[in-house]
Amino acid sequence: MTCRDLKSLNPTERKSFLDSFDEVLCDCDGVLWLMKEPILGSPKAVQKLRSLGKKIRFVSNNCIYTYDQFYMLLEKLGYGNEKDSLVIPTMAIINHLKNIKFDREIFLLGSAGLRTELENEGYKMAPKGPGLTEIKLPEIIETLKDNPNVGAVIVELDVNLNYINLMLASIYLKRKDVILLNGGSDKICPFSKDLNFIGPHYFQVLLEEFSGTKALHFAKPKELLAKYACDKYKIKDPKRVLFVGDTLEQDMKFASVNGFQKLLVFSGAVSKEELEKNKCVDLNPDYCLDTFGSIVDIVNSTQ
């Protein structure tokens, strides 16, 4: 581990750190909240940084919520409701579909929130295969047929994912005119301190490899989400941006790839012990803290 614990810095170093960035891009799950409950001190951290004139933006791989639901949650948990302060893969995917003038059906392996926003923009969803079913091979084979109206397959967290719908997606992707778009691609989705869900990454990789189709990725750690965020907020100098996250492969790599400063907190997916074992430079944070809320003490010690 080569990062510096912010608590170990002297007052001069702490002030230098705080003066080194103008904007904060902050992950949500594992940094701001777990299971819709705020992580102790995080709301005050956001408020304190805003009082210093820092611009706070929220960048999450979570597509479960609609935009309105996400903003309502931010406000309810004490993070404010500033307009246009949110970036999620849903937004970047829809922006891409608009740019390419997409006008065909979408086969979605994803959440209700993403589906709602796609439908709000006028996109039509292709029907999915049956859910729970008996294993009767002739009937299953009968459902596995191409739908020529499908022009895109979108994959992110889908708690109702099943074998038949994965097969349907692979059948559609055999056609060269069908594009594959990936939303949130986390390996681990932290829901509480003791419960991590299997992330959509594994199903996305499976589908890419089985279908032979290269996906466009619209979530951390890939550049397309960063490009969308930088364009949206007109970020010119990434070195003046602090990214706060709780994962190595999504958050810290995302910050490294895009030239942001990196702050890792241990309130979500990664422990100090796991960080100690990391050997990849791109995944190493510049700084670390037990929780995002601890930054309040860092600020107070310089005033």
pLDDT along the chain (303 residues), means of 10: 88 97 96 93 97 97 94 96 93 98 98 97 94 71 91 95 94 97 86 79 95 96 95 96 95 95 94 91 95 97 92
Q: What are the catalytic residues? A: 27, 29
Residue 151: CB atoms within 10 A of its CB come to 20
149 assigned to a ligand binding site: no
Same-domain status, 192 and 102:
yes
Does any domain span residue 142? yes
Structure tokens at 225: 């989400």
Instruction: Give the separation between CA 254 and CA 164, rounded to whole angstroms.
Output: 33
| Domain count of the fold of the chain | 2
Same-domain status, 195 and 228:
no
Model pTM? 0.92
Same-domain status, 27 and 112:
no
Q: What percent of the chain has pLDDT over 70?
A: 97
C-beta separation of 243 from 263 below 8 A? yes
Same-domain status, 128 and 182:
yes
pLDDT at 187: 84
95 assigned to a ligand binding site: no
pLDDT at 242: 98
Identify the domain boundary among 158, 190, 217. 217
Same-domain status, 112 and 189:
yes
Could you tell me the CA-to-CA distances from 234 to 54, 152, 167, 226, 231 in Å, in that order? 15, 29, 41, 11, 5
Same-domain status, 52 and 110:
no
C-beta separation of 181 from 152 below 8 A? yes
251 assigned to a ligand binding site: no
Q: What is the CATH number of the domain that holds 162?
A: 3.40.50.1000
C-beta separation of 150 from 126 below 8 A? yes
Which residue from 235, 240, 229 is spatially nearest to 18, judged by alpha carbons? 240
Residue 283 burial (C-beta neighbours within 10 Å; 0-12, 13-18, 19+): buried
C-beta separation of 89 from 65 below 8 A? no
Does any domain span residue 66? no
Domain that holds residue 50: 4-61+221-300
246 assigned to a ligand binding site: yes
pLDDT at 117: 98
pLDDT at 227: 95
Instruction: Give the separation between CA 286 and CA 256, rounded to whole angstroms.
Output: 10
pLDDT at 186: 83
pLDDT at 193: 67
C-beta separation of 102 from 123 below 8 A? yes
Does any domain span residue 151? yes
Does any domain span residue 71? no
Instruction: Give the separation between CA 26 and CA 292, rounded to whole angstroms.
Output: 10
Amino acid in the structure at residue 7: K
Identify the domain boundary among 175, 193, 217. 217
Same-domain status, 104 and 191:
yes
pLDDT at 197: 83
232 assigned to a ligand binding site: no
Secondary structure, 3-state, the chain: CCCEEHHHCCHHHHHHHHHCCCEEEECCECCCEECCEECCCHHHHHHHHHHCCCEEEEECCCCCCCHHHHHHHHHHCCCCCCCCCEECHHHHHHHHHHHCCCCCEEEEECCHHHHHHHHHCCCCECCCCCCCCCCCHHHHHHHCCCCCCEEEEEECCCCCCCHHHHHHHHHHCCCCCCEEEECCCCCEEEEECCEEEECCHHHHHHHHHHHCCCCEECCCCCHHHHHHHHHHHCCCCHHHEEEEECCHHHHHHHHHHHCCEEEEECCCCCCHHHHHHCCCHHHCCCEEECCHHHHHHHHHCCC
Identify the domain boundary among 172, 190, 217. 217
